[in-house]
Structure 1
Amino acid sequence: MSAPNLGSLSAVMLIALTSVAQASCRQALALGLDVSGSVNETEYSMQLNGLASALENPNVVNALLQPGAAPVYISVYEWSGPVHQNLIAPWLPITSQAALSNLITTLRHHARPKMDVSTGLGPAMLFGAELLHAQPDCWRRTLDISGDGIANTGPLPRDISLPDQITVNALVIGPGSTRPLGESQEETTGLVAYFEARVIWGADAFVEVAHGFADYEAAMTRKLLRELEGLSLVHAR
């Protein structure tokens, strides 16, 4: 096997980095929060405030506000039934600490609307994909879906079609301490398998796990750091 041409590799990386620098948006990140009937008021608050606290994490702040880098655009919505998706925060370029603080304030002051109790994962993914469609100039377009259960109303995730240009990651919320340990582990394992097989999309897509809503902030922090830590040069189904 011949040795790699380091000059050619350097040229490719330079072109890629130049493209990133010239982009008006480094990454578009749409976050979809589960507000179906399985999520009670306390869990709803933990999820919303957990996302807000994750965005306040110093490491996440540093990843979002990289000096000299194009901004990350963030939008947040909540979802339940097939026609129940509610936009909490429209697209916002995170260009400064003030912009990030405005988003966090919006999250912390948002009141839960009345929505369908069913779990329409497929429509929630289509809604997020449509949001990302509005950001064609971003280097990466990523949809995050948080959920604590499988889809029970359609169209189901396996029945929808998503563009190859986006990535769908998932944050699975297991039952945590609300169930006996063995039962909790079994249910979480089943949920992860479902989301890996039916929900995530893209060559570098992944599933993060929260062991109950009390663990949501920590899991969201891990997921955001993984998504923001670098750019992937290859995006495929």
Structure 2
Amino acid sequence: MRYPKAPWLVPIAAMGLLTCVSAWHRAPVEVDLALVLAVDVSTSMDPGEQHLQRQGYVEAFRSPMIHQAIHGGLVGRIAVAYVEWAGAHPRFQNVVVSWTILESPEDSLSFADQLARAPIYRVAGTSISEAIDFSLALMGSSHVLAARRVIDISGDGSNNQGPLITEMRDKAIAHGVTINGLPIMLRDPERRENATLDAYYRDCVIGGANAFMIPVRERSQFLTETRAKIAREIAGGPEPGWPVQTARTVPLTDCDTSESLWDDPGLEPHAFPRHEVGKDL
């Protein structure tokens, strides 16, 4: 039996083929920067510190300073993902806001609003090495063509779980990724590692082209230093007067050992109510 031809099927089939070919060959989005913000939520930070840390990032992306930095790039847009991390036992990395293209001030404000609404988890352990490895893998899912790729690590302790920090740092550098840092060094006399955490980040964590770090030593600095750090990362170069520190050529810190087992290993992951974030700073 011969069935009548359906000429209307031809353009539909052709359209479907063109759609598939178009999707297959769709070029990645060009951006000045692909940035993973990898933020420590280990239990060594108290809830107030973690809220201030989150608020620092929220307010940074609401700031005209960041909007102007994005607009001033060669392409005028960046891609950002926000990840929270803690220990390796259990392994914890949580993508809070997935890859987002920021081109206009409205894009940045929307990103900040998503971040403000998300809960904050608290998990035991500090595995900077796992955070770097996870962030490096996340770079592969960005579908952007970035002039620069940066992983930004913020945290209040040294690596105490997972692979050696230097191995993961060097792996990222070998892939052309820069690691910057925001060591949190609030004045707590009970935590002796606070006095040397900046040296640890400088010698063991940051690395790659133009790598730098900005320590946070007071609660009031969460907003100003976070904003300054992101602005410099977007700009790709230093600005006069910014209190940055760069990586040492010859490290003076023992990166392969850590006495910073400060977290309570028995504490299960816990999320703060999302309405507490974004109210005040």
Judge same fold: TM > 0.5, yes or no.
yes
**Offset of residue 51 of structure 1:** 0.7
CA distance in 2, matches of 1:187, 1:69: 41
CA distance in 1, matches of 2:52, 2:218: 10
Residue 95 (str. 1) matches residue 103 (str. 2): yes
Q: Cα distance 1:218–1:67, how it changes in 2: closer, same or farther (>3 A)? A: closer
Secondary structure in 2 matching 1:137? strand
**Offset of residue 99 of structure 1:** 1.3
Q: What is the letter of the counterpart of residue 133 of structure 2? A: L
CA distance in 2, matches of 1:85, 1:67: 30
Residue 121 (str. 1) matches residue 128 (str. 2): yes
Count, aligned residues:
206
CA distance in 2, matches of 1:87, 1:23: 21
User: Greater Rg, structure 1 or structure 2?
Assistant: 2
CA distance in 2, matches of 1:132, 1:27: 11
- Using the aligned pairs only, state the percent identity: 27
Tell whether the 8 Å contact from 2:32 to 2:73 is kept in structure 1 after alignment.
no
Deviations 1:150-182 (A, max 9, x none): 011111312332233110000010023x44xxx
Secondary structure in 1 matching 2:220? helix
CA distance in 1, matches of 2:120, 2:109: 20
Q: TM-score, normalised by structure 1?
A: 0.79
Tell whether the 8 Å contact from 2:86 to 2:93 is kept in structure 1 after alignment.
yes
Q: What is the letter of the counterpart of residue 126 of structure 1? A: D
Q: What is the letter of the counterpart of residue 43 of structure 2? A: G
CA distance in 2, matches of 1:230, 1:207: 13
Deviations 1:8-47 (A, max 9, x none): xxxxxxxxxxxxxx97111101101100011121111101
1:158 corresponds to which of 136, 151, 166: 166
Tell whether the 8 Å contact from 2:67 to 2:104 is kept in structure 1 after alignment.
no
2:181 corresponds to which of 170, 176, 198: 170
**Offset of residue 204 of structure 1:** 1.0
Q: 1:200 matched to which residue of 2?
A: 206
CA distance in 1, matches of 2:154, 2:128: 10
CA distance in 2, matches of 1:150, 1:230: 26
Q: 1:49 matched to which residue of 2?
A: 55
* Unaligned residue ranges in structure 1 (runs of 5+): 1-21
Q: What is the letter of the counterpart of residue 118 of structure 2? A: H
Q: 1:11 matched to which residue of 2?
A: none
Q: TM-score, normalised by structure 2?
A: 0.67
Q: What is the letter of the counterpart of residue 59 of structure 2? A: S
Tell whether the 8 Å contact from 2:210 to 2:237 is kept in structure 1 after alignment.
no
Secondary structure in 1 matching 2:147? strand
Q: 2:67 matched to which residue of 1?
A: 61
* Unaligned residue ranges in structure 2 (runs of 5+): 1-27, 239-248, 250-281
* Structural RMSD (CA): 2.5
Q: 1:109 matched to which residue of 2?
A: 117
